[in-house]
Each structure stands twice: as structure tokens, then as C-alpha cells.
Amino acid sequence: MKNIKLGKTNLSVPAISIGCMRLNSLDEKLAVNYINGALEKGLNYFDHADIYGNGECEILFGKALKILKTKRENIFIQSKCGIVPGVMYDFSYKHIMESVDGILQRLDTDYIDMLLLHRPDALVEPDEVAKAFDELRVKGKVKYFGVSNMKPMQIELLRKYLKCDIQANQLQLSITNSQMIRHGLEVNMFTEGSLDRDGSILDYCRLNDITIQAWSPFQYGFFEGVFLDNDKFYQLNSVINMIAEKYGVSNTSIAAAWILRHPANIQLIAGTMNLNRLDDIIKGSEIQLTREEWYKIYLSAGNILP
């Protein structure tokens, strides 16, 4: 399975992270089985957020680790804070500190490996974020820090105040949600795809050694559904299926391979709760699509090459 270097750290981590947003769709026994299965496959990087299942996902995960007697140092746990669902975004010192205490309590652990700020807060006071990150690091509650859904200038604003590096930026990316790639190919044009909606975040992250973590890698729209085997994406599926046949793998593998083929060393956050599908995603990480295949898939999703 492919590994990637995480941000500016010296850590080599799996290119596939287990997304835990849907963990509470499983009961305790199934959750234990799923986490154990993932670990047996070498997938030891887990992505959480304080809001997933209103905290239930972290609680379930913490219980599973105890049942499995997993050594804490053998896994990488990442969580996020900063969203108060339906109310506001909050990057204040108080909110960050309280959120991390809640995360640690629910996960039943002394520290998390990485904390991400979940979505940009319009009222952010970067010196407060810096104070919180500093204290969390010194107290040993958080080892590394990152962001999610942020543009370059928002990260730059934080970096002016932070003493630590931003190691990751978690962003929505799938074949059908590839605007961060698309606008780089339609530069200076009047096409819809030429619109730069993210401040060239892909190039910025590459320039600054920030790992892009792709969330919802198999979904289209904003949680509208899976594009694979979906008639709305007939052309895309025909091409993916043809390439899947060539490699003797499933369409899931090819959709994963398309993200992982990008030289930005993207980490894919897989939201499946199905171990067989996880095997397919791992197979995808072992396939190096040709340049021609990568572009063929890109075009079949309705994109253009000017």
C-alpha cells in the first residue's frame, strides 16, 4: 500500500486514512470489527471530528480501541474542531481548548496526533489560535496541527502568528469535484472551469509542503451520492469500468487511483464502513494510472482540455 510523507514532518503515513464520520452507523461489535480489519490491513490513520455523530463516533472509536487493546503509539488519530453545528464557527482560544478536552475525553486518550480547524471562522483572531495551539502542544495534548477547507490566504494569516507548521489541509476532492485541478487547466479563459474558487490551493499546498487530504473521494456534489455505478455519470463510469477491466480491479479502485496518481501526494480519506471496499481502495493505491488514463477519466467527467 502507498505511503506518503505527512506535511513537513518526517512521518510516513498511509495514503489512505480511515474517515470516521459514518462510524456511528455501526453498532459496537461491527465498529470493533471494522477498526480491527482496517488495522490488520495496515491502515492506522484515523480521521475524526468532534461533531461526527454529535461525538458518538469518537466515543465508539475510543471504546473499540480499548476492546482491541490497541497500543496508542501504533495508531495516528486526527480530529477537528471549530464548528458549532447550525450556530457558528468558532476558532476562539476558549472553544479550541474546550473542544480538545472533549475530544480527548470521548476518545479516552491522553493526546491526539493531529488537530485540524474544521472550517474557516469569519471572526478568527489568529493570535488566539496561536495561543491555543502552543498550549496544546506544550501540554502534550496535540502533536501536529492542520486546517480544513481553507484557502491560501487564510492559512497565511494563521501562519503569521503560529509557532508551529500547518501540516495538512483537508479539502473536498473527487473526480466529479475537481475544481482545484480544473481551474489550473483553464487559465485565463471565459469558461466555467476557469473560475478559481479556492485561491489556487492545490499549488499553494504543494509549494508549502502541506498534505492535501481528500474528503468525500467517491461522492458528487455536496453529499449528493456516489458517482460510481450512477447513470448520471454514464460516460465517466464507462471509462472507469474499461480501465478497471484492464487492471483487473473494481471501479472503486480506479476512482481511488485517480486521486492518488496526482503528484501532490494526496491522502485519501475513505468514508466506507465496508472492509471489502477498503480492499478495493488499497488496490487503487497500488495502481499507477498512465498519464493518458488519468486525463481520459478527467475528460469523461465532463471537463475540457482547451
Ligand X SMILES: NC(=O)c1ccc[n+]([C@@H]2O[C@H](COP(=O)([O-])OP(=O)(O)OC[C@H]3O[C@@H](n4cnc5c(N)ncnc54)[C@H](OP(=O)(O)O)[C@@H]3O)[C@@H](O)[C@H]2O)c1
**Structural contact between residues 162 and 194, judged by C-beta atoms closer than 8 angstroms:** no
127 Cβ contact partners less than 8 Å away, ≥ 6 residues apart: 161
Q: Among residues 62 and 186, whose Cβ is nearest to ligand X? A: 62
Of 52, 144, 204, 298, catalytic: 52
CB of 291 to ligand X, least distance (A): 24
- Asked if residue 21 binds ligand X (CB under 6 A), the reply is yes
Q: How far apart are alpha carbons 172 and 85 in whole angstroms?
A: 19
**Structural contact between residues 222 and 15, judged by C-beta atoms closer than 8 angstroms:** no
Whether 52 sits among the annotated catalytic residues: the reply is yes
**Sole binder of ligand X in the list 145, 204, 218, 258 (CB under 6 A):** 218
* Strand boundaries in 6-65, DSSP class E: 12-14, 16-19, 45-47
- Asked if residue 274 binds ligand X (CB under 6 A), the reply is yes
**Structural contact between residues 154 and 123, judged by C-beta atoms closer than 8 angstroms:** no
Q: How far apart are alpha carbons 117 and 80 in whole angstroms?
A: 6
Q: Which set of grid coordinates corresponds to residue 251?
A: 471501479
Q: How far apart are alpha carbons 268 and 285 in whole angstroms?
A: 9
- Asked if residue 12 binds ligand X (CB under 6 A), the reply is no
Q: Closest CB to ligand X belongs to which residue?
A: 271
**Sole binder of ligand X in the list 13, 45, 47, 303 (CB under 6 A):** 47
Q: Would the CA dihedral through 141, 145, 148, 151 be positive or negative?
A: positive
**Sole binder of ligand X in the list 169, 237, 252, 300 (CB under 6 A):** 252
Q: Among residues 186 and 244, whose Cβ is nearest to ligand X? A: 244
Binding flags for ligand X, 97-126, as an x/- string (CB under 6 A)? ------------------------------
**Rounded to 5°, angle at Cα 216 from 66 and 3:** 65
- Asked if residue 216 binds ligand X (CB under 6 A), the reply is yes
Sole window of 123-131, 138-146, 182-190, 266-274 interacting with ligand X (rule: CB under 6 A): 266-274
Q: Contacts with ligand X in 185-214 (CB under 6 A)? A: none
Known catalytic residues?
A: 52
Q: Which residues bind ligand X (CB under 6 A)?
A: 19-22, 47, 148-149, 170, 215-219, 226, 228, 252, 269-274, 277
